[in-house]
Amino acid sequence: MSAAAPRKVLVLNGPNLGRLGSREPDVYGSTSYAGLVERCTRLGRELGLEVEVRETNDEGEMIRWLHEAADASLPVVLNPAAFTHYSYGMRDAAAQRTAPLIEVHISNPHAREEFRHTSVVAAVASGTIAGFGIGSYELALRALADDRPQG
């Protein structure tokens, strides 16, 4: 009997997250984007998930990725970054989800500038994890692994 194929999960990152490690390390920590990718894919393997990590500064590309996830019923870990606060197009694409979508943030947006307190994505996400640094991604992946269909 062969083992089941790993469940694919997309980890989607919005603008400026490719600059992790050099961008405001006092807020976002010292882990580089490559380090984020490595941690997510390694934990994914441990949890039986096939994790694909992507980053874009382009709102249209993010929307296309969310459509791709909806069409394939792929779970998503989404750090919308600045898109969090104003991208209704991205919010509408996230609302079309056909599998769990967990919004993540490295920092706690509610402990920062007031404009960061509003998320247009939160209402259509399965849940939100924020303020645990890169660990926010790990918590989201663990939540998705725990939500695996039984059978």
Tell me which DSSP letter residue 151 carries.
Answer: -
pLDDT for 97-148, tens place per residue? 999 999 999 887 766 667 666 899 999 999 999 999 999 999 999 999 996 5
* 16 is annotated as contributing to ligand binding: no
151 located within any domain: no
- How many distinct structural domains can be found in the chain? 1
* 110 is annotated as contributing to ligand binding: no
1 located within any domain: no
* Long-range contacts from 111-114, C-beta under 8 angstroms, 24+ separation: 112/27
CATH number, domain of 102, equals: 3.40.50.9100
Q: What is the DSSP annotation of 110-138?
A: GGS-GGGG--SSGGGSSEEEESSTTHHHH
Q: How far apart are CA 25 and CA 22, in angstroms?
A: 6
69 located within any domain: yes
Task: Note if 86 is an active site residue.
Answer: no
> Which one of the listed residues 33, 86, 88, 105 is annotated catalytic?
105
Task: Note if 67 is an active site residue.
Answer: no
* 54 is annotated as contributing to ligand binding: no
Q: Say if residues 10 and 76 touch (Cβ distance below 8 Å).
A: yes
Range of the domain at 88: 7-146
Residue 150 pLDDT:
37
pLDDT for 60-101, tens place per residue? 999 999 999 999 999 999 999 888 988 999 999 999 999 999
The pTM of the full predicted model, rounded to 2 decimals, is 0.86
